[in-house]
Structure 1
Amino acid sequence: MSERFRDPGASWYGLLEEEILVRCPRCDGMAAVLPREGGPGRGLFAPRRLLCPACGHVRDWEGDRVGRYDDPEDPYFRLPLWLCSPCRGRTLWAYGRRHLDLLEEYVAARHRERPVPTDGSGHRVPRASAGARTLVEALPAWIKNAKHRDEILRAVARMRATLGAP
């Protein structure tokens, strides 16, 4: 277990630009939602493709709206996330491997450091004017509570076990 966690400043938006693991609507296997090159939109609104390696199901998304990104479903196709586990009467979830790693590192650490907000030139700025919160800062209180550490880490291990080899 790591003694120290330093918030890397990851954002929800950053996680959405990576692979999102979901349940395939056809076979219920593990499928991936990936950014797709070309087409209209960029970043959050870049076209996405759903791919299932188990059954070959493919579906494309292009739009100017995404769903909520604080629920255990992907914000593009609205499919249930693959990485979900019951924990403390709630659902612990992650979009993909990096999100799961970040949760595990944060929860396992005995000391947790927040990022120091800076302006574009590296100068510190007051927290209130720092803008959007990081993914770690936006975690619910029940995940941040150290007394839940062991139970949350068991849920993370259950989710990781569904991934198989990387």
Structure 2
Amino acid sequence: MKLAEALTARADLQRRIEQLRARVTSNARYQEGEEPSEDASALLVEAQGALEQLRELIRRINATNSRLSLGADGTMTDALAARDVLRLHHSLLTDAAAAASGSHGLRQLRSELRQIAALPVAELRQRADAVARELRELDNRIQEANWTHDLEE
């Protein structure tokens, strides 16, 4: 199984567990004289099995990520951490540029004091574009590794 397939299986298991949680909670109580639509105990057993599968899958994904080398990007774990930080950095820069440009829909009346940008908007947007490009390139390398490397036992 490729790492990308394991990531898809993990997402599927997480969705299934969430659905089971909803079904358990909606059938945990029922009105006297009626039958619940599903057996909450059986659903809990099914959820426990799915949780055990998820635990094993996450363990294998994490083991693979910690050993998988992406060259200059370090291990897959290093690359994932870098990607998370790049996403935050991009968000910070774009939010700062938007706030400095006054593009939050505020209108200035003639009687109000003039608002001045405390940050260089054009420079912030250029930096945000550079970070976005770096993020896309790193994400492409991560995705390539996901599809070319097998999941470890």
- Normalized against structure 2, the TM-score is what? 0.27
Answer 1 or 2: higher relative contact order, Cα 8 Å, separation at least 6: 2
- Normalized against structure 1, the TM-score is what? 0.26
Which structure features the higher share of helix residues?
2
Which structure features the higher share of strand residues?
1
